[in-house]
Amino acid sequence: MDLETDKVKKFILEELIKKSKFGGSHTPFDNIINHLPDEFLYNKKGKKLIENAVKELNNQGWLLILKKRTGKGSDLHISINPRAIKEISAFLGLNK
């Protein structure tokens, strides 16, 4: 595992947990990504890390990614898959 990718994955998961976004309670993808540190947002390598982290989280089944219609068109919305809470807690080190 790439340490930088893990750092981004942890940040995304922690933000979703802070906002209590589990299952049907979702938030626009940009709301989470825009809170990442500037080192990830404003360069090509950082954007690639974000893309890889989200892809890995989705492939692991930890994220639910939905395309939702909004007043401005349609956006991607994300939330934590409630069936993966145990694995996510172990990844974040919350099981002690």
Q: Closest Cα partner for 74 from 21, 35, 28?
A: 28
Q: Can you give the CATH number for the domain in which 64 is found?
A: 1.10.10.10
Q: Does residue 96 have a pLDDT over 60? A: no
Helix or strand run (H / E) with residue 65 = strand 63-70
* Domain contains 60: yes
Say what the alpha-carbon torsion angle 37, 62, 1, 86 is, to the nearest 10 degrees.
110
Q: Between 3-18 and 85-92, two packed helices, what is the crossing angle to 10 degrees? A: 120
Residue pLDDT, tens place only, 10-61: 999 999 999 999 988 889 888 888 888 888 888 888 889 999 999 999 999 9
**Domain membership flag for residue 19:** yes
Tokens of 22: 């589990």
Question: What's residue 1's pLDDT?
Answer: 53
At residue 75 the predicted structure's pLDDT band, cuts being 50, 70 and 90, is confident
Question: In the prediction, which pLDDT does 62 show?
Answer: 95
Domain residues for 53? 3-91
Q: What is the mean pLDDT of residues 5-12?
A: 92
DSSP assignment letter at 22: B
pLDDT confidence of residue 63: 94
Assigned domain for 49 exists: yes
**In a domain? residue 96:** no
Q: Is 32 helix (H, G, I), strand (E, B) or coil?
A: helix
Give, for 58, the enclosing helix (H) or strand (E): helix 44-59
Q: What is the total count of domains within the chain?
A: 1
pTM: 0.87
